[in-house]
Each structure stands twice: as structure tokens, then as C-alpha cells.
Structure 1
Amino acid sequence: MSRPDGPSGDQNAKSTSSTEPGSADGDTPDDVSSAAGRDAVSTAAEKRDARKIVTGEAKYTADYGGQFPDLAEAAVRRSDIAHGVVTDIDTSDAEAIEGVYAVLTPDSAGMPDGPYTSAGQSYPEPSPWDLRVLRRRVRYVGDPIAAVAAKDTDTARAAARAIDVTYEERPAVFDPDAAVSEDAPRIHDPDAVENVQSGADYDRNVEAHLAGEIGDVEAAFAVAAERDDRSVVETTWETPYQSHCVPEPHTTIARRDEDDRYHLVSSTQVPYHVRRQLAHLFDVPIRDVRVTKPQIGAGFGSKQSMVIEPIALALAIAADRPVKLEATRAEEFHAMRFRRPSRGRIRSVVTDDGDLQAIDMSVTTNSGAYGPHGMTAAVSVGKKPLPLYAGTPNLRLDATAVHTNLPVAGAMRGYGAPQGHFAVETHIAEIAREIGMDPIAFRRRNLIGEGDVETASAILKSGDGHGRRIRSCGIDECIERGKAAIGWDDVDQPPEDHRHRACGVALATQGSGIPGDELGAAHIKMNEDGSFILQTGAVDLGTGADTVMAQIAAEVLGARPEDILVQPSDTDVSPFDYGAYASSTTYVTGQAVRKAATEARDQLFAVVARLLDEPVDDLVAHDRAVHAESSGSSVTLEELGYASIYGDDAREQVMGEASYSTDESPPPFAAQFADVTVDERTGEFEVHELVCAVDCGAAINPDLARGQITGAMHMGYELAAGGELTFDEEGRPNVAGFRDYGMPRTADQPPLTPILVETHEPTGPFGAKSVAEVPTNAVPPALSNAIRRAVDVRITDLPITPEKVKSALDQRRESADDV
């Protein structure tokens, strides 16, 4: 793999830098490798939309409905059964309701009937095309059957309820292990699915299956069977569905504009992917589809899928007016997208000295009724955590994605990594116990480090040459600072004999975008007053991405972040971007912004060189001006803005544009700690504190980075000990809202302590890599490991509850009594 030269993103650079691939033997780091000397980067600039959000002035998709006086509201009639065929749809009662403009069924004129995938991820999509906009063959409770557009929400929902649906019900299957048995009901007809994925076997409800190996795993286990200085450790695990719990439901406004083009205002993470997918589905040129992304009330991966946009657009065409479709909270909890359940087994070989010789990991994920992200998320369960211990000479991963008659899984923050880290990091703790080593010392003995080349993330790729060199790694410092913050070496036991306290640890890693499969672009232009307009196709989900982009541009141009106006994504005017997912925005789009700003700065330097008769190589930009270092002369950005546009001798628009893609994906690292007291009589546990120390490279905005860590820990804690989506024996959801789900509330949330461990990633903008996902991964294993150390029982299935702890304690006592 080629290794790109590091960018020279310092605002004081005297020449245009290159980010093209360079020598494989070394990297050129940023001109500035620390916060010293920086003006806009590595500072806590205020999140630019924070005040709008807290004051209620921010405008989300639903707020744009007021722009359309003839706006219709929409509702969807969804399946009441988990599996079957719709034999009749009677819409007469719905159509008779006053104020109903359109009622659509799968047989309606103009309704797209071709297959597609809702996965907004790359092209060609690495997911099967197994969906229809409205469906006669229903595969879970919640499948969309019909849709209504009416004068208001109440009328639309009343009309949707009035649609009479008759079914031919079929047997359903809800467990992945049962789904692959020979006598299980077949959920998909393989002849009706396009873009079938590797290893698919629809006769056994297998969406995809992949396996890969490094070294010779079976040989390592054979050696262990013959030698006394080898131990074999085996563990199992299971994780449940998890909801994204987005504050803003999925919402879309679809209309035909005055130029007879389709325009969607939508709360999506992937505007350009939605545009492409809609053009395919409705058989229109891409140029005739426009997607605008306003303020988004969080996504966490749920809005990386195109879930409701096709229904809204079909209704807008049928009703011949703008249509707004907003999911109900109940629909968010059963008919949108979720973190996929997983289960599996890990076996490993370890020497008595603590050297890992082999890891053999098998994974089964539950895709639910359809397959968006099924294959890629399933393999991520293994290939995301395994790089932590990539020095292990023998690795094997076997991953299977299975269909059941439950809700559709999709993308969610971490993308398989939380499930995988729960599996790997609880397993690593069990190995340390087995051989009598300290859990941190054992990890450190086997951890990957700076300068290493890891191939575990490419375990499914054939041939040599796949892997990534670790150019920045602060995992040791993360461990040390996390240990100190949690009080690892100084745990005070409660005075009661039945209460026991301990700390648990788990490590985590992730990526920074998808290597070789990302593209970000940026355009920036200068106004007369020295301010700038920055356009990117990146999507700020509330993370502060727009703030970070403004800081990067300001640092290059010598401006202030508030001088950079970042416009929201709009496929008609914004440069292309893959969207907000895979922790790519700062690393990939940030580099495009840095390159575009550098191009604009070079134009500024040319103008100043003419004005001051100074050599370009002597110019630097800072403090809202361009300075000649030798003479001390300077020109303010405002003066340059007017001079460049209205000058007497030469006039030009100062602007820059660039795109950026890379084969690199530098991993951030994290050390997660949990401090827990467990009551051995009841199984109840109190989490005193969660501490997460994260190496995200250089933090462009430290406050926003800490906010990302804190929010991610909350989401990880919810998976570890909070909400769970459950279903009755007919596949009907038991959760219809936040009260049913059990997401930890303020009173339930333990103190969360984020720690930034800054390193310098030479391939990232100003040394940055990613931060958004990696802190999500390790709370569940850290909590399970803490309970194991406190009362010597292991909880292997999430969520961890007092009932499960009590049951495990009772079983341990019974086993001791039998002995």
C-alpha cells in the first residue's frame, strides 16, 4: 500500500503542499505538529449552531413545511404480521375521507416496483437489492404496505388506519440459529433479489457469509494440544438490537419544483447517495433530483439509510403537491433502522508467558427482514477489534449475516465495532485470568504499537500487501491516564461484606473513513470584507463538523473561524461528498477543506506580492492579514477582499476548490474504564464512574472532541446496561417509545469522564484522525470485566442486568455446593 505524504497544513507555509501519495518508506509530517503557534485549530471555538439549537431557532426538516402553503401530510400503513403475502388492499374507506389527496399501494400507477437497497453507502452498493417501496410480500411487523397524503397529519393517519388489508400469513422465524435450519421458513426468494452478496444462501436465510485467515489457525491449536505451556480459552457472547434514539424523527419533504425537478428536504446523513438512489428508483436523470440537508437532530447512522424518502416522493407525485412524511416515535422503534444483534464464539491459544498465538472468531449477525449493510457490518464485528492484537500470528474470522422476521438492521455508530469489542475484550480478560496475568499487563504485551503494520483489518482480502501502518498510537498513554483517573490501583472496598468494588478495563480502536472508498470535496471563496464562504458536501449531524471545517479553513487562511461561513449540504450547489459516516468527516473532508483553503491562500499571496512588491516565499497569513516577514509590511484580509475584486490593475475572485480521497484510515485508540460496586445478595450494581481516554490524533476542537467522547460513552452505557428492543412471540414490538425502551436518563447515568490523549497523525489535517465512534465501543466489555473482577461472574449477553448477575451468582454457588 502506498503511503501518502502528510499535509503541510500550517497557515505559515510558504508554498502549496501536496497530499498525493508519496514514498512508502516515510512521511512528511505537518509543518506544525503541536498546538503551538496555531490560531484557529486546536482551540475551543464555539460550536457555530449551539445557540440556535438551545434557543429553538434552528430549523429542521419539518420547520420548512411552512414554505409550502399547499403542503400535504403523510402516513404509512404498515404490516400487522411478521411474515406473509398481502392478498387484498381495500382503500375505499381511506379515499372517502375528506381531505385525502392520494392513497398509494404497490399496484398504484407510477409506483416504482424495482428492487433497491436503503443502504446509503458507496457505489455499487455493498448490500443486496431486496426492498420495494411498498410491499405485498411482508417480512416483519412494520413493513410498508400503503401510504396516504392528506390535508393534515390526523387525517393522513386516520386514512392509513382505514385501509383494510387481507393477508395470507406464513410461518415466521425470529432467531438467527433457527433461521438457518433446513426446515425454517424461507424469507426471501433468491430470484427476486439483485446484487446478491458473497456467500448468500437464501434457501437457508443467509444474506452473506465471508471468511478469512492469516497464518494457520488449526496448526496453532494442534500445537497447543501437544504442549503443556499453551492454553486454549473459549468464550461466547450475544448482543441485542439497539435503537439510535434520535431526537428528530426521520423526516422528509418531497416536491416537484418550478423546473419540474424533484426536490427533497430531508434529514439525511448522505444527500448525494440519496440523490443517486432516488434517480435509479424513479428512473430519472440524476440532474433532475435535488436533495437539501437542513439542520439535523442527530443521526448516529440511522439516517445513513434511505428509509422514507421514496415514499414521500411517490406521494408528492401522486398528490401533485409537496408532501411531508415524518415518522412517529413508535415507527422509530420498530420500522426504521437499528444496531444489529450479534452472537458468536472466540477461541484462542496463549502461552504461559502471555503471548497470543491464535485467535479464531466466528460471528453471526441478525440482519432482520432485509439486508442493508448486512455483509459489511457483520464482518466489521471482527475486523474492527482484531487489529488491537494484530501481532497475533494466526487469526481467523468467519462472519455470517442471517435474515429473520424482525425489524431491519442498518448502520449505527461504531458499525459492528461495539459488538466486536464486547466479544474480544471480555475474551482477552478471560485469557488473562486463565494464565494469572494482570489484565492490563497482558494487553500491553500483545498490543499493536506505533510503527507496526497491521493486516487484521484486511483479513478478508486475499494476497499480500493489504494492511495499514500505524503512524500514530497513544494507547499506552490512554491506559495510564485512564488508570489514574479511575483509581485503578487504589480501590476502597465497601464496609459491607456483601458488597464488592472493582474496576474493569477494555481497549478499543476504529478507523478514520473507509480506506480507498471515500471522497470529500470543498469550495471556498472570498468576500469583499475578508470573510469566506465555504461549501462542502459533508453533513453536520450536530457533531460540530461545520465548526471544525471553519477552523481548518481559518487556520490556513489566517482568518478567524467566525469569518468562515459554512453552508449546509445541497446537492445542487455543494461539492460532492460521500456523507457523514465511518468517522470520515474530519479526516477526509477536512483534508479537502485544507487543500481548497491552501489554493485560495496561494491566490491571496499572489495579490499581496503585486501590491507590496514582496516575494511570495516571504509571505505568511495570520491575524486576519497577510504579512511580509522580512519587511514587516502587511495587508488585511478585508483590504485584500476589495483589492482583488475592484483593483485597478488586476481583478480576480479569490477562491479555491479541491477534493480528497485516500487509501489511508488511521485508527484512533481508546482505553475505557468502569468503576463498579456489586451487591452479591441481589446482583444489583452501581457504576460510580466511566472514564474514557482517547487518542484521536490532534483535536481540532478539544471541547467538541470531549463532547463526542461523552456522548459515545452514554450510547455505550445504554447498550451495556440500558435499553433493549424486545418482541412478543408473533414478532410484534414491545417498545413504542422512550418510556418502554429504558434508555438511561439523567438520574441513571453515572459520571462520564472524557480524556483527550493527543498524538500527531501525519496523514491527517493538522495531525487529526477521528473521534466520533471509537468511544462507543468499549463501555460494555469494561462493565462486564469490572463485574467479573468484583464478584467473579461473567455476563456474556447484553444488556447486563441485576437479574443476570444474580442468576450467575446463584449458579456459581450451586456449582460450589456440588463440589
Structure 2
Amino acid sequence: MSRTDEPTESDDQQQSSSAETDHPLEWDESPNNRKTAGERQAVSKREEKTDARKIVTGESKYTADYARNFPTLAEAAVLRSDIAHGYATEIDTSAAEGMDGVYAVITPDSEEVPDTTYTSAGQSYPEPSPWDLTVLRRKVRFVGDPIAAVAATDASTADKAIRAIDVTYEKLDAVFDTEAAMEPDAPQIHDADRVENSQPGADYERNIEAHTDGEIGDVDGAFEEAATRDDWIVTETEWETPYQSHCVPEPHTTIAHRDEDNRFHLITSTQVPYHTRRQLAHLFDVPIRDIRVSKPRIGAGFGSKQSMLIEPITMALMLAADRPVKLEATRREEFYAMRSRRPARVRLRSVVTKEGDIEALDMSAITNSGAYGPHGLTVTGSIATKPLPLYTHTPNIRFEMKAVHTNLPIGGAIRGYGAPQGHFALEGHMDEVADELGIDSLELRSRNLIGHGDLDTASGVTTNGEHVRRIRSCGIDDCIAAGKAAIGWDDIEQPDEDHLHRACGVALTAQKSGVAGDELGAAHIKMNEDGSFILQTGAVDIGPGADTAMAQIAAEVLGVEPADVLVQPSDTDVSPFDYGAYASSTTYVTGSAVKEAAEDARTQLFEFASRMLAEPAEVLEARDGAVYSEQTGESVLIEEIGYESIYGDELRAQVMGQASFSTDESPPPFGAQFADVTVNEETGEFEVHKLVFAVDCGVAINPDLAEGQVDGAMHMSYELATSAGLSFDEDGRPETLGFREYGMPTTADQPPLESILVETHEPTGPFGAKSVAEIPVNGVPPALSNAIRRAVGVRVNELPITAEKIRAQLDES
């Protein structure tokens, strides 16, 4: 019997009237939200990505391409600290200022440079991250802190001017390890009285940015009972993950200028236009109305552009130079001065019965925030709150987290947002427990796994039970079955050579769809006279095809082709408000707003069609570019309605729909990652034959785009598993300054990938959809580590997984 079938106190709680009232299983979805595959006209279709041809032909315009619009444009460069900790006591800019072609040089003392503190994290307001940054800094805390900046006629002149600035430093002792940073005699990186930090547990004397914990049940009691019983086993493991770079093709780029109304206009590669506008208004003490942020095409973000990094420097230079300024980060800066996945050390203890029931999970994590604290609390908390719901039936769960400052580069938002670190630990731990019990690892998981109808309490372990979720869609069992079949789980044949060993590994994954209770998406759609539509949202398409998906959702409601819905890029002067592209929220949150806005427009559409057909609106339906009467079968083309609505004799009104959407729901997608590997026990070298990821993302709005998200995320996950990490010398200077040193897998290195979409229906999502963008990035490290464990009996618990680490483990075994 599966544990989830057994009557337990937890089940009793789930069945209580309070839980049913607060988190009902049944959801009152609109009549048109649930459609069979045959009834769908636009969603679930493999529509070509709207900008695909423009991208491959080079016609898409990115931020840097707008430079040609400004004949007097200056180009910028930034002088960054070359010590890890200390003070820039003197900044001599005289040589730079005297150079031909230099328009402006700014330092922390320049009147155009605010000394107001802020956070670079593009999050909701008020930001949960500490305000610990200034635009330029005399107190430097890592190699890469910005000290000065130059605007000049061209990039080469700006770079020469930067090199001519002479900085005198007062060096301070630095610390690069989180454990050492928390020691009482460690160098103190921040002064508490200079940071506005609302996070719990901050202790700047010990370099702790945030510290909190949470508990469900009685974890200590479970371990105490385990000590008295022979049929309960205790397993303890430790795991470590490194820095990971976003490796975006397009570096951070911003153009700042004043428009004809003397307003500030920033064209910038950002995932969060509205957050950037608000933060700039705060920094420069100007009204929000006087700032406009436009987002053109973006060459990928992966969370790197959820932070406001170079916009303030660009705006200050524009003020100082009194002309438009473009600042584009170098590839070197992308690797050490922007943001990265934060390293983490995770410890796990569990109590499991010999039958395979998990009685307790005790998880703790310490993450390296680096020099500043954007996303420190929220990412570190996600190490637990995203993977632990897989085993939410566990009656006793505890999580403790610390985000710690060091004098290394800054951690930030990156695809997965803490979940990859947590899944590596939890899913590796599950295999260790299964080995100790002598049972199949999938059997252990299935016995304890979350399922449809469950109340997920584990997701609220750090919030005193807030944001728990009712699981209204769950295809995890089907994901396991599909992945097993695709990888050949039961059909692995061993190589003929005795020193080669082949095995498959598995890891289950979960994520969220937006941030529960902390999102807002809005949409506006208007009909042209030819029956086409203009759709405006504040959502930010950072490459995966969100604009295409939004067009499909609107088209499904309006009964037109997706090509008849033109989606406009995000612009804070024109677009409705949206929190931005992060937390896997766009399809679920913004897509819901688009659906409701389209429904609003359809109601108006039907009012005109009702007059034209002499039929009541209640019997009308929109499909195939027309509005039909279900009673008579008569129809009128939507194009005809368009002309009638604007030029008609009886009534003229433009059809315009709008809606805002926010929700306390955040339904999790589920996935199963499989890896097929052969390991050479003599050398530790391994070959990954195939990676398979099966995902339940509800109804895929566009299967091609969803599969592309899975493939891309698996590549990023494979990179984290085998080649990620930044290296530094003994003084904290970065040694990884480009793709060559970083070692991102190329097409020649990447094993074959297979993505499988397992359809369920999420009643709270638009047409049954939930998220897909982040969940596949969680699975390869634990699945690969588990496969190697099954193949040769050794465990690599520190990423990246290398032949040297495997060989070292084999030597010790």
C-alpha cells in the first residue's frame, strides 16, 4: 500500500472543514477554460514563434541596436575594484578628464551620483531584499565593485579613460568562505546601521544577511524515537553546489536619454521594466511619471536581468554628460561583476521506516550571498520550499537557512531560484535512503509522493503555514512512467568491457507558477477594423516565446488565428502593469490576465454581432474568424464586426478589453528527470548517453515552445552538473573571465535530450496551463549523481561532477 493511501493524522487535517474552505479541491473555472484537444483552436498548437525568423535573419532589434537613433550618443565604461575588501581612499580622475573625447567622469562624490541605498533585486514592493547598495562605492566589498564611470565618444576612448583613473586603496582583510565568514573574528563586510534590512535573523557582526527556520510537526521527537527503534533508520548526507553563470548571449545593455518632454527614457535589456522604473525614481528622487522604461528584444535573461545592475550608472552618466549614453557590459563583467547562482551547502537528515515511510526530514542550507544581498532570503528559502513538497506527506519537516556574506561576487536570481540546490540534495538523499533500505528508489519515492487532491503543507514550512497549496493537477506518476520507458530503465545492457558500468538515475522535481499572493499581471486588447487585434501586456518576453503564447491565448478566446493578434513589447508608458518575467509566472499570471481581457473584448464583440445577426448574445460563439449563432448557424465575419463597430451607423465604439490578474494560487508543475550513463571505473570518466525529462505543465499552450524550454533548461542543468563554477585566486580575484575558462558545454559535449509533455489540466490556469520554464533545470545534477552511484557504487555530492572526483571516491571505497 502506498503511504498516501493510508489514513493518517495529516490526511485527517486535509479533510477538515477548515482546509476545505481555505483550499478547496474543486475550482470554479469559467465554462470555456476546460477544452478537449479537439475543441481547441489556437492553444496547444505548434505555432511558430512570432520572432523566430527575425532572430535568425538578424532583423530583431536589441538594446544596442537603438544606439543609431541617437547621433550624439556617448559610450560608457565602468572602473571596478581590483581588491576584494577595502576603501578607495583617493580616486584621481584628472588624467581621464583631460583626454580628448571624454564627456564625463563620475565617482561616488559626483553630484549626479545618488548616495541613496537600494537593492538591485527586481522584486515586489517593498523589496524583501536589503537596501545595501549605492550606485558607485568607496567602500568596496568584492573584486568588481563599481568605483567610477566614464562617458566618451566611443567605447575604446571610454576604456582608455577608465584605465587612466588612479585609485588608492586602504585594504582590509577579506573572507571567501561562508563558514569562516560567520566566525567571531572574521572581517565584517557590512555595518548594520548602514543597511536597511527587514529580513529575519540578520547579524552583520557575523556577516549573516538572513537567518530563519520553520518546522512542521516535531522533528526532534522523531529523531529521538528513531534512536529507540530498530525499524526506523536515520540517514545523514551533505551536498555542495557552486556558482553558476547565466551565460546570456546578450550582455546587460542600457541606453539612457531625455526625450522631447525632458523625461528620462531608458531603453534597456531588463526582465522587470516596472520595478526598474520604481527603483530609479527612488534613487534619483524623481516622480515615477517622469521615467519611461522600454524593453526591446532581449537576448536571454535566465534571471540575470531581473536585477537592476547598470541602469543607475547609465542614468547618472547621462546627467553628467548631458547627452544620451549607452553602457554595455563586457563579457568579463558578465562573469564576475553581474549576478550568479549562489553557492550552497545543504545538509539533510531523515527518519524512514524499514517499510519506506518517511517520518522526518531535517534540512539546513547555508548559501553564499557574496558581497551584497539581493534575493538572499528568498532564494535560500526556495532550497526547501520548492523540492520538499514532493514529499509533503512527511509529518515532521524542518528547514533552517542562512544567507551569508563573503567578499566574492554577488548571488542573485537565476533560473530555478534555489530549487536546483535543493533538488540536488533532496533527490540524492532519497537514493541514499533507498540504498540503505535495500529497496528500489522509485518505489521509495512513489510510496511518499504528493498526489492529486493533496494539501501541500511543506511549501509553507518557512512561512508559518502561509501559501500552502491544494494540488488540483498532478501528473507525476505519468511523468515517471513516460520517463522510464523513454530512457529504457528496465532494459539497460552492460558493456562487454569489465571496467565499464552502465546505469540509469532518476530525480523527481517540482517548482511553482509565479509567487503566490505576490504577483500582478494586466492586459489590454483592442480590435482593428479588419478584425485583427493589438495586445499589450507588461510581460517581458526574454526569448522563450511568451508573446507567441499570449497571442494564442487571446486567439483561443476570440476565435481568430494567433497571427491576427499582434503583441506589443513592454513599455512602461504604454503597457499595462506587470511584475515582469520571473518565477515562471508569465503563462500562468499574465496569461490569465490576457484570457480575461480577451473575454472582455469578446463580450463587446458579441454585442455588435447580436445586432448584426438579430440573435441574442447568449447563443453566440467565436471560431474560425467569425461569430456564429448556435441556434441558426448564421455567422458574421469578425472583420465585418470590426468595420461595423468603428464605422457603423447605429453605434460606434471600439472593441477594447482589459483585465488585471493576481492570485494566491501557485500550482506546481511536476517532472521526472532520467539520465543514462556509463562510467569507467579505472579512470572515473563517464559518458552520458541520454537525458530524458518528462514534465506535467498542465496544458501546454504551445508544445514547441514548451519542449524548447525543457531542452534549454536541461542543457543549463547539465552544465551545473558537469562544468559550472567560478574560480578565484587567494585574493578573491576572478579567474573565470570568459566562455573558454567557464567551460559551458558545447553542442559537441551535450548528450541527446528528449522532452516529454504529460498533459494534465490545472483548473486555476488559463486553459489548464501552469509553468514549465524553470522546473527542468532542477533535475540533471541529482539524476546524474544517482546514475553514477548505481553504476559504480560511489557518490559525488559536490558539483560539478568530474572524472577526478569519481576516481577519488573509487580509490577511497
Give your verdict on TM over 0.5.
Answer: yes
State the one-letter code of the partner of 2:405: H
User: Pick from 327, 337, 340: which aligns with 2:339?
Assistant: 337
CA contact 2:25–2:453 (8 Å) conserved in 1 = no
Residue identity in the other structure for 2:635: S
CA deviation after TM superposition for structure 1 residue 111, in Å: 1.3
Asked whether the equivalents of residues 33 and 760 of structure 1 are also in contact (C-alpha less than 8 Å), the reply is: no
2:128 counterpart residue number: 126
Offset from partner CA, 1:630-689 (integer Å, 9 cap, x none): 111111111111000000111000010000000000000000000000000000000000
In the TM superposition, residue 38 of structure 1 has moved relative to its aligned partner by 1.1
Name the structure 1 match of 2:401: 399
Q: Does 1:295 align with 2:297?
A: yes
Instruction: Give the letter aligned to residue 24 of structure 2.
Output: A
Offset from partner CA, 1:280-333 (integer Å, 9 cap, x none): 000000000100000000000000000000000000011000000000000000
Map of 1:532 onto structure 2: 533
Q: CA deviation at 1:770?
A: 0.3
**Alignment equivalent of 1:35, drawn from 31, 34, 37:** 37
Q: Which one of the candidate residues 164, 167, 170 is aligned to 1:165?
A: 167
Q: Deviations over 1:234-291 (max 9, x none)?
A: 0000000000000000000011111111100000000000000000000000000100
**Corresponding residue for residue 69 of structure 1:** 71
Q: Which of 350, 358, 361 pairs up with 2:360? A: 358
Q: Secondary structure at the match of 1:200?
A: coil
Q: Report the equivalent of 2:193.
A: 191
Distance 1:782 1:723 in 2: 16
Residue 137 of structure 1 is matched in structure 2 by 139
* Contact residue 619 and residue 626 of structure 1 kept, 8 A: yes
Return the letter of the residue paired with 1:157.
Answer: D
User: In 2, distance between residues paired with 1:392 and 1:631?
Assistant: 57
Unaligned runs of 5+ in 1: 1-20, 813-819
Give distance in 2, aligned partners of 1:613 and 1:800: 70
1:131-181 superposed Cα distances (whole Å, 9 cap, x missing partner)? 010000000000000000000000001101110000000000000000000
Counterpart of 1:374 (choices 370, 373, 376) is 376
Deviation at 1:26, TM superposition (A): 2.0
Distance 1:582 1:465 in 2: 18
Instruction: State the match for 1:486 in structure 2.
Output: 487
Compute the displacement of 1:23 (Å).
Answer: 8.5
Aligned to 2:496: 495
Provide the C-alpha distance between the structure 2 equivalents of 1:423 and 1:157, rounded to a whole number of angstroms: 44
Matched residues in 1 for 2:508 and 2:725: separation? Answer: 24
Q: Relative to 1, partners in 2 of residues 1:23 and 1:453: Cα closer, same or farther, differing over 3 Å? A: closer
AA of the residue aligned to 1:631: T
Pair 1:768-2:769 in alignment: yes
Partner of 1:815: none
Call closer, same or farther: CA 1:23–1:671 in 2, change over 3 Å: closer
Number of equivalenced pairs: 791
Distance 1:221 1:180 in 2: 28
Q: CA deviation at 1:723?
A: 2.8
Distance 1:428 1:250, change over 3 A: same
Tell me the alpha carbon deviations over residues 366-394 of structure 1, each in whole angstroms, 9 at most, x when there is no partner. 00000000011011111111000010000
Q: Give the conservation status (yes or no) of the 8 Å contact 2:505–2:790.
A: yes
Following the alignment from structure 1 to structure 2, what is the Cα–Cα distance between the partners of residues 35 and 573?
35
Q: Distance in 1 between matches of 2:268 and 2:466?
A: 41
Structure 2: distance between partners of 1:34 and 1:475: 21
Q: Which runs of 5 or more residues in structure 2 are unaligned?
A: 1-20
Maintained 8 Å contact 2:25/2:472 = no
SS in 2 for 1:402: strand
Distance 2:553 2:173 in 1: 56
Instruction: Compute the displacement of 1:28 (Å).
Output: 3.1
Q: CA RMSD in A?
A: 1.0
Distance 2:333 2:391 in 1: 40
1:411 paired with 2:419, answer no
1:805 and 2:800 aligned = no
**Superposed CA offset, 1:529-554 (max 9, x none):** 00000000000000100000000000
**Residue 327 (structure 2) pairs with residue 325 (structure 1):** yes
Cα distance change on mapping 1:465 and 1:808 into 2, 3 Å: closer
Instruction: Answer yes or no: is the 8 Å Cα contact 2:128–2:198 preserved in 1.
Output: no
Tell me the distance in 1 between the aligned counterparts of 2:554 and 2:771. Answer: 18
Listed as ranges, the matches of 1:72-111 within 5 Å are 72-111=74-113
Choose 610-619 or 409-418, whichever is displaced more: 610-619
Q: Secondary structure at the match of 1:333?
A: helix
Q: Is the 8 A contact 1:199 1:208 kept in 2?
A: yes
Residue 473 of structure 2: aligned partner:
472
Residue 641 (str. 1) matches residue 645 (str. 2): no
- Please tell me the residue identity of whatever aligns with 1:48: T
**In structure 2, distance between residues paired with 1:736 and 1:40:** 45
Opposite residue 27 of structure 2, the aligned amino acid is D
Q: CA deviation at 1:465?
A: 6.5
The letter for the 2-side match of 1:221 is F
Q: How far apart, in 2, do the equivalents of 1:321 and 1:52 lie?
A: 31
2:250 counterpart SS class: coil
Q: Could you tell me how far apart the structure 2 residues matched to 1:461 and 1:79 are?
A: 38
Aligned partner of 1:582 in structure 2 is 583
Pick closer, same or farther for the CA change 1:447–1:25 going to 2, 3 Å. closer
Per-residue deviation, 1:193: 0.4
Match of 2:267 in 1: 265
Q: 1:56 to 1:25 in 2, by over 3 A?
A: closer
2:639 aligned partner, one-letter code: E
Q: Distance in 1 between matches of 2:289 and 2:758?
A: 45
Q: Name the counterpart of 2:632.
A: 631
- SS of the aligned residue for 1:726 comes to coil
How far residue 27 of structure 1 moved from its aligned partner, in angstroms, is 1.5
Residue in structure 1 matched with residue 573 of structure 2 by the alignment? 572
Judge which range, 466-475 or 403-412, deviates more.
Answer: 466-475
Aligned AA (2:599): T
Give the corresponding residue for 1:384.
386
Deviation by residue 1:691-750 (Cα, 9 ceiling, x = unmatched): 000000000000100000000000000000013211110101111110110000011000
Q: 1:487-526, aligned counterparts within 5 Å?
A: 487-526=488-527
Instruction: Write the distance in 1 (CA, Å) between the matches of 2:521 and 2:111.
Output: 39
Q: Indicate conservation of the 8 Å contact 2:23/2:470, yes or no.
A: no
8 Å Cα contact 1:674-1:690 kept in structure 2: yes
Which residue number corresponds to residue 684 of structure 1?
685
Q: Give, in whole Å, the separation in 1 of the partners of 2:46 and 2:732.
A: 48
Shift, 1:24, TM fit: 3.3
Aligned to 2:606: 605
The residue that corresponds to 1:695 in the other structure is 696
Q: Which residue of 2 aligns with 1:51?
A: 53
Query: What SS class does the counterpart of residue 694 from structure 1 fall into?
Result: strand
Deviation by residue 1:59-100 (Cα, 9 ceiling, x = unmatched): 000000000000000000000000000110000110111000
Q: Is the 8 A contact 2:710 2:773 kept in 1?
A: yes
Give the alignment partner of residue 279 of structure 2, picking from 273, 277, 288. 277
CA distance in 1, matches of 2:672, 2:514: 21
Q: Which range is displaced more, 635-644 or 32-41?
A: 32-41
2:227 paired with 1:225: yes
CA drift at 1:110: 2.6
CA distance in 2, matches of 1:631, 1:496: 74
SS at match of 2:227: helix
Corresponding residue SS for 2:516: coil
What SS class does the counterpart of residue 574 from structure 1 fall into? coil
Other-structure match for 1:10: none
- In structure 2, distance between residues paired with 1:197 and 1:630: 60
Structure 2 letter corresponding to 1:604: L
Aligned to 2:732: 731
Contact 1:35 1:41 in 2 (8 A): no
Partners of 1:683 and 1:806 within 8 A in 2? yes
CA contact (8 A) 1:119 1:373 kept: yes
Is the 8 Å Cα contact of residues 488 and 503 (structure 1) preserved in structure 2? yes
- Provide the rounded CA distance (Å) in 2 between the counterparts of 1:720 and 1:449: 28
Provide the C-alpha distance between the structure 1 equivalents of 2:113 and 2:454, rounded to a whole number of angstroms. 54
**1:666 alignment partner in structure 2:** 667
Work out whether residues 460 and 466 of structure 2, in 8 Å CA contact, stay in contact via their aligned partners in 1: no
Report percent identity of matched pairs. Answer: 71
Q: Secondary structure at the match of 1:714?
A: helix
**CA displacement at 1:344 relative to structure 2:** 2.0
The 1:235–1:398 alpha-carbon spacing in structure 2 relative to 1, beyond 3 Å, is same
Are the equivalent residues in 2 in contact too, given 1:256–1:317 (CA < 8 A)? no
Distance (whole Å) between structure 1 residues aligned to residue 467 and residue 386 of structure 2: 15
Partner of 1:112: 114
- Which residue identity lines up with residue 575 of structure 1 in the other structure? P
Which residue in the other structure is 1:12 paired with?
Answer: none
1:816 is matched with none
Q: Kindly tell me: are residues 357 and 367 of structure 1, through their superposed partners in 2, closer, same or farther at Cα, counting changes over 3 Å? A: same
Amino acid at match of 1:133: V
Deviation digits for residues 93-117 of structure 1, max 9, x if unmatched?
Answer: 1011100000000001131001100
Alpha-carbon distance change, 227 to 22 in structure 1, aligned in 2, over 3 angstroms: closer
